[in-house]
């Protein structure tokens, strides 16, 4: 028994070893050079046409134009941008001298009267004042320039927020519009299927009248 097992395993070993030289050499797959990233548009080119106009739908264009012109999120983003720009202008005003102009005017009238037809005295006083003062803060440590730069970056961030609001709102409208188109197509498909079923029912009823189909088919 042990001799038969030894002969069996020796045969398998010889067959396996003999087939090894005929095996194809291992080669690495020849894969093409893949780019590190993909983009629909080439770098350095600007897209002049809004992306939703690629659908060529007047309905979608009208909905997005109405929302971008009157949407609450868009109006809020524009208001924040105006506020950031005003803060940047205020910060830049500190780089220039501040001039204060004060003006004033006063009018005083006094009257004195004695008894028994005594003497009467009147006095009128008018005063006018005009003052002009100027001040200027030396930006020795760069505080004013740093504040101005910070407000400018805030204004740029607010502008990007406006762009984000535009992209988000237009994307939501386009997505809802596509869902509406899907429902419309489903309704049209169901109506077409109902019409087909009604036509098929008429054919079955004609066949039933001529004893060519059963009542089960009609039902």
- Render pLDDT for 12-61 as a digit per residue (tens, 0 to 9): 555 555 554 555 676 777 777 777 776 665 666 555 678 888 888 899 89
- Dmax (CA) for the chain in angstroms is 165
3-class DSSP state of 73 = helix
What is the CB neighbour count within 10 angstroms for residue 182? 10
Nearest-angstrom CA–CA distance, 173 and 51: 13
* pTM strictly above 0.75: no
3-class DSSP state of 126 = strand
**Ramachandran quadrant class, 67 (left: phi over 0; alpha: psi -120 to 50; beta: rest):** alpha
- Average pLDDT of adjacent 10-residue blocks, the chain of 219 residues: 56 53 66 71 64 87 86 82 82 73 74 63 72 68 78 84 87 91 94 93 88 83
Residue 213 backbone dihedrals phi, psi, to 5 degrees: -145, 165
């Amino acid at each position: 028994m042990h001799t038969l097992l030894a002969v069996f395993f020796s045969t398998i070993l010889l067959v396996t070893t003999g087939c090894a030289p005929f095996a194809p050499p291992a080669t690495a797959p020849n894969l093409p050079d893949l780019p590190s990233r993909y983009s629909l548009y080439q770098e350095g080119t600007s897209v002049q046409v809004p992306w939703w106009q690629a659908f060529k739908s007047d309905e979608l264009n009208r909905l997005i134009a109405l929302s971008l012109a009157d949407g609450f999120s868009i109006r809020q983003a524009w208001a924040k941008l105006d506020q950031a720009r005003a803060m940047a202008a205020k910060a830049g005003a500190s780089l220039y001298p501040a001039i204060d102009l004060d003006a004033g005017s006063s009018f005083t009238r006094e009257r004195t009267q004695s008894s028994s037809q005594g003497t009467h005295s009147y006095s009128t006083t008018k005063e006018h004042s005009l003052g002009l003062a100027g001040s200027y803060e030396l930006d020795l440590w760069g505080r004013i320039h740093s504040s101005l730069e910070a407000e400018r970056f805030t204004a740029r961030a607010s502008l990007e927020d406006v762009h984000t609001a535009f992209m988000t709102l237009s994307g939501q409208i386009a997505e809802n519009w596509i869902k509406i188109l899907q429902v419309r197509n489903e309704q049209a498909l169901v109506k077409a299927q109902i019409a087909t079923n009604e036509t098929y029912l008429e054919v079955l009823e004609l066949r039933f009248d001529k004893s060519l189909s059963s009542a089960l088919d009609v039902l």
